[in-house]
Structure 1
Amino acid sequence: MSLLVVGLSHRSAPVSVLERAALPADAQVKLLQDTVAAEPASEAAVLATCNRIELYADVDKFHAGVAELSTLLAQHSGVGLEELTPYLYVHYEDRAVHHLLSVACGLDSMVVGEGQILGQIKDALATAQELHTAGRLLNDLFQQALRVGKRAHSETGIDRAGQSLVTFGLEQLTEGAPVAEWAAGKRALVIGAGSMSSLAAATLARVGVAEIVVANRTRARAERLVEILSEAGTGLSARVAEMESVAVELTRVDVVVSCTGATGLVLSSEAVAAAVASGARPVDSEVPNLRAPDGSLVARLAAAAARSGRLPDAGYVADAPGVDSLELHGTWAGNGAVLDTPATGLDSASTCPAPAAVPTRSAPGGPAAHSGSSGRQTTPRAVVPTQYAPTKLALLDLAMPRDIDAAVHRIDGVRLVDIESLAEASADAPMAADVDQVRTIVADEVAAFGAAQRAAHITPTVVALRTMAADVVQSELARLRGRLPDLDERQQAEMTQTVRRVVDKLLHAPTVRVKQLAGEPGGAGYADALRTLFDLDPQTVASVSRADSNNNEDTDARNRGRA
């Protein structure tokens, strides 16, 4: 069996296709079930985020596996296979491992180094484990991806290669002005109360807005976020608004940040036009003096997001006054938080970082390569500001699918930054040195994973060999006791120990060496050689493999219980 991944992401597909192909939770469950029911696949896991949909499987046939996985993705995404195929990429065996580890390190993210992907990988593994679609290979792979992602964040400055997605979006709204000066004293509406929205609220509070209004479908979550904001004691005004009153709130605020899990539009162009026409206060008007960012508030918001969801790209926390480092669920946040706490009660869309970036100079015109790099990583480049009418309402849409009607950009006095404009702003910039360091880590870990898998592949055969040897020893000892009935118990025990010691010594060196050789490239053939040389029963080998897989599942279940 071999690892195969078929998927699409912001590297291969335009935003319009990603939006239509987005998989809700129930569709992901059905996709996993249908995949393992298909002939080529024995294991399956789905990684579905704001800017990627990837189906991982352990298959016994490459071409049949690609065809089956592509068809299943098309069926469950609702995008026809003929339309979807040009945007799909395929990675196989070591290239598939390399791809997932790169994704886990944030190398394939729109903002390089963002850490929220680790939580999404953990969620993908948990779902596959709960549905029993993840076996030994995918369990090992996804656990390795989580470890490598954490290592990249702790050993390198990959967090510095990118920046907070909310901060990046706000920088695009300011058209070159310092964010703190631009935001000071403004009134902001945050739509959504997931981890990304919590990050938005923390960022807005940090840069000095005077008021934050939180609207969310679940009022209790909005109230909790407002409670944290209000308890900080900084004079920041924070309150909850019902989703039904968002249109009214638009007339009272200067800035809107929206990141919900809604499948339809949250803000229509008509609602925005009406708010602007009613006289929303221009964001260019005089504002109070800038107040210093409050480190305590940022720390509390970060900790709250760690408890309730995942706080991505929180490197700014380390720079806040009074916050030297934060321990968030056991993960050091002094150089950018890397959280992997599952988001309770959140769907993938409500916990996503900024949605997809679309390459603007190398848009795909055909099928993506089946191997190789997913696309070179970039850091944000400067964007020449476009001339706009005086801005009355600034909108930042970080949702996938989009929350805000793209047509609002035609309304005078409205400034919209959405996933496509963020993609344009982040394209074609030079590489950071930290990215190269992470690439080296990924390459080393891919080699280590391959060696471990090859060694693990031969383990059932070695166990079967030792089992066969033990059976032979027992049979011969029984025959010997029948021929020498006068031996007392001490003599029989000495005879048994001697025979077993001889067999163990004969098997020790070759079995240790064959495990070492199996870990090297091309070492998979040693298992076949052992089975042939010793005429091992394939059913015995298979039963050992199944027992090992069941032990792994029991361990995973215990680990989930402790979590």
Structure 2
Amino acid sequence: MSLLVVGLSHRSAPVSVLERASLSADTQGKLLQDTLAAEPAAEAAVLATCNRIELYADVDKFHAGVAELSTLLSQHSGVGLEELTPYLYVHYEDRAVHHLFSVACGLDSMVVGEGQILGQIKDSLALGQELHSAGRLLNDLFQQSLRVGKRAHSETGIDRAGQSLVTFGLEQLADGTPTEEWAAGRTALVIGAGSMSSLAAATLARAGVAEIVVANRTRERAERLVQILTEPGGTGVRARAVDMASVGGELARADVVVSCTGATGLVLRAEEVEAALDGRDGPLALLDLAMPRDIDAAVHRLDGVRLVDIESLAEASADAPMAADVDRVRTIVAAEVAAFGAAQRAAHITPTVVALRTMAADVVAGEIARLEGRLPDLDERQRAEVSQTVRRVVDKLLHAPTVRIKQLAAEPGGAGYADALRTLFDLDPETVASVSRADVTDADIKNRGRV
């Protein structure tokens, strides 16, 4: 089986396509289930964020896997395959590992170095585990990507190379004015109460806004976010929750609006924003972090309104980040990809080594039983000494070859050593497969298969 990823992102597709291809939580679950039901895939995981949709799978056939995963993405996103295909990218084996590790480090983000992607990868892994679609390979891959991302952020200054989408978006709204100075004393309306909206509310509070109003379709979630913002030892900002029906009135009083919901249609239309401008003394700043967009792009044409959305953030983030930090992260990623590949290749041969040692142990046991039948007069001490000697001889004969073959298998191109070992020793394929299903470890080689 081999690792394959098929996806699209802000680097490969225009925002208009990403908007239409966005996947709800329920759709992601159905996509995983359908991927597992497809013939080429044994494991599956989906990474869906505001600016990327990627389907990971462990497949037994490359071309069939690409075709199947592309078709599934089209079916579940609602974008026709002919339209979607030009924007899809494909990564296979080590290149797929390199891609996910780069994503985890923030190298592939719209704003280089943003750390929110780690939480999104964690959520993807949790979904795969919940639905039992992520097996050994994808569990190892996603867990290691989280470790690599954390390492990159702790060992380099990649965080300084770019900010989270929220921070970067507010900086764009401030238009050169320090964010704290621009936000001080303002009233903010946050639409949505999910992870991105919560991050936006916390960022606004730290920036010094006077009041935050949270609107959400589920009032309880809005109230929970308000509680977090106002609890003792928190930000100290004034905050209150309102129903979505109250957004129009709150819009007229707000200075800055951040919207990030899971709605499939517009949350704020141009005419609603225009109505809120009547009688206002100051400009209205809008930050749309949703995909598909929450705020009608037509508000760009309204006087006194500044809108920053995913598309404008993509254009603004084209400035070169800190090259030295990016280079250091790339070095980390390259080393981690090599280490992950070596570990996976070594793990691939482990069941074969265990099966070989098990076969050798069976041969030794059979020969000792024959010896006891031919030499019945041996006392207990003599039988024990003969048995130990035979086992020691076989163990020493197998030790160097099995250690060396694990080393060779860990090198690039070493996958064929397991086949060679099975052929040379005429190992039963079903025995090897049963060892694989038992999820063996290095300890098994030393203990379960010891002769």
Shorter chain as denominator, the TM-score bin is over 0.9
- Mark the CA change 1:21 to 1:534 in structure 2 (over 3 Å): closer, same or farther: same
Residue 400 of structure 2 aligns with which residue?
509
CA separation in 1, counterparts of 2:130 and 2:179? Answer: 44
Deviations 1:16-68 (A, max 9, x none): 11111111122222222222222222221111111111111111221111111
Contact 1:250/1:280 (<8 A) preserved: no
Of 413, 428, 441 in structure 1, the residue corresponding to residue 304 of structure 2 is 413
Please give the TM-score of this superposition, normalised by the length of structure 2: 0.93
Cα pair distance change 1:192/1:89, threshold 3 Å: same
| 2-structure distance, mates of 1:60, 1:204 | 48
1:9-408 map, 5 Å: 9-231=9-231, 236-277=237-278, 279-282=279-282, 391=283, 393-408=284-299
> Aligned partners of 2:396, 2:149: CA distance in 1, in Å?
42
The CA distance in 2 between the partners of 1:22 and 1:195, in whole Å, is 17
What is the CA deviation profile of residues 303-345 of structure 1, one whole-angstrom value per residue up to 9, with x for unaligned ones?
Answer: xxxxxxxxxxxxxxxxxxxxxxxxxxxxxxxxxxxxxxxxxxx
Equivalent residues of 1:183, 1:208 under 8 A apart: yes
> Is this contact kept in 2: 1:254–1:280, CA < 8 A?
no
- Opposite residue 477 of structure 1, the aligned amino acid is I
Q: Which residue of 1 aligns with 2:371?
A: 480
Pair 1:426 & 2:427 matched: no
Please say which of residues 484-493 and 97-106 is displaced more in the overlay: 484-493
Bigger drift between 224-233 and 425-434 goes to: 224-233
On the 8 A contact 1:215/1:242 being kept in 2, the answer is yes
Pairs within 5 Å for 1:514-533: 514-533=405-424
Residue-by-residue CA offset, 1:413-455 (whole Å, 9 max, x unaligned): 2111111111111124355311110000000011111111111
Cα deviation for residue 133 of structure 1 reads 2.1
- Mapped partners of 1:271, 1:139: distance in 2: 46
1: CA distance, partners of 2:325 / 2:43? 34
Q: 1:534 to 1:132 in 2, by over 3 A?
A: same
Shift of 1:178: 2.8
Q: Structure 1 pair 228/463, CA: closer, same or farther in 2 (3 Å)?
A: closer
Aligned length: 441
Which amino acid in structure 2 is aligned with residue 190 of structure 1? V
SS in 2 for 1:251: helix
How far did residue 547 of structure 1 move? 0.8
Aligned to 1:385: none
Over 3 Å counting, the alpha-carbon distance change for 1:161 and 1:416 in structure 2 is same
* SS of residue matched to 1:521: coil
In structure 2, do the counterparts of structure 1 residues 281 and 212 end up closer, same or farther at CA, with 3 Å as the change threshold? farther
Distance 1:30 1:227 in 2: 34
Report the Cα distance in structure 1 between the residues aligned to 2:441 and 2:28, rounded to whole angstroms: 24
CA gap 1:218/1:550 in 2 versus in 1, 3 angstroms: farther
Please identify, of 435-444 and 394-403, the stretch whose mean Cα deviation from structure 2 is larger.
394-403
Instruction: Quote how far apart the aligned CAs of 1:111 are.
Output: 1.1
Question: Structure 1 stretches of 5 or more lacking a match?
Answer: 283-390, 552-563
* Cα separation, partners in 2 of 1:549 and 1:241, compared to 1, 3 Å: farther
Aligned 8 A contact 2:118 2:149 in 1: yes
* CA distance in 2 between partners of 1:91 and 1:39 (Å): 19
CA contact (8 A) 2:5 2:92 kept: yes
Q: How far did 1:232 drift? A: 5.5
Greater Cα offset, 162-171 or 508-517: 162-171
1:452 to 343, 356, 362: 343
1:244-294 Cα deviation digits (max 9, x unpaired): 1111111111111111222222111121111112x1331xxxxxxxxxxxx
| Contact 1:461/1:531 (<8 A) preserved | yes
Deviation (angstroms), 1:203:
2.2
Whole-angstrom CA distance in 2 between matches of 1:469 and 1:208: 71
Amino acid aligned to 1:218:
T
How many Å apart are 1:126 and its aligned residue? 2.0
Q: Is the Cα contact below 8 Å between 1:135 and 1:549 reproduced in 2?
A: no
The structural deviation recorded for 1:513 is 0.9
TM-score by length of 1: 0.75
CA spacing shift, 1:236–1:7, aligned 2, 3 Å: closer
Relative to structure 1, the CA distance from residue 119 to residue 164 in structure 2 (aligned partners, 3 Å threshold; closer, same or farther) is: closer
Distance 1:235 1:73, change over 3 A: closer
| Partners of 2:346 and 2:217 in 1: CA distance | 50
SS in 2 for 1:427: coil
Contact kept, 8 Å, 1:259 with 1:399, in 2: the verdict is yes
Distance in 1 (CA, whole Å) between partners of 2:237 and 2:425 is: 76
8 Å contact kept, 1:35–1:69? yes
Task: Please tell me whether the aligned partners of residues 183 and 209 of structure 2 are also in contact (alpha carbons under 8 angstroms).
Answer: yes
1:116 to 1:174, Cα distance in 2 relative to 1, 3 A: closer
Whole-angstrom distance in 1 between the partners of 2:433 and 2:93: 22
Amino acid at match of 1:91: H
Counterpart of 1:345? none
Matched residue of 1:144: which SS? helix
Equivalent position SS for 2:277: helix
Output the CA distance in 2 between the equivalents of 1:225 and 1:440.
39
Q: Percent of counterpart pairs with the same letter? A: 86
Q: Which amino acid aligns with 2:61?
A: K
Amino acid of the residue matched to residue 68 of structure 2?
Answer: E
513-522 or 35-44, larger mean C-alpha shift? 35-44
Q: Is the 8 A contact 1:214 1:226 kept in 2?
A: yes
Of 319, 330, 339, 1:439 maps to 330
State the Cα distance separating 1:231 from its structure 2 match. Answer: 4.3
CA contact (8 A) 1:187 1:255 kept: yes
Is the CA contact (8 Å cut-off) linking 1:136 and 1:549 kept in structure 2?
no
Structure 2: distance between partners of 1:262 and 1:27: 14
Matched residue, 2:355:
464
The equivalent position to 2:385 in structure 1, one of 482, 494, 497, is 494
The answer as to whether partners of 2:112 and 2:321 remain within 8 angstroms in 1 is no
Residue 303 of structure 1 is matched in structure 2 by: none
For 1:468 and 1:265, the matched residues in 2 are separated by 65
Cα contact 2:3–2:96 (8 A) shared by 1: yes
Kindly indicate which of the two structures has a greater share of residues assigned to helix.
2
Paired residue for 1:349? none
1: CA distance, partners of 2:240 / 2:361: 72
Please give the secondary structure, in 1, of the residue aligned with 2:182: helix
Measured in 2, the distance between the counterparts of 1:83 and 1:235 equals 49
Q: Secondary structure at the match of 1:502?
A: helix
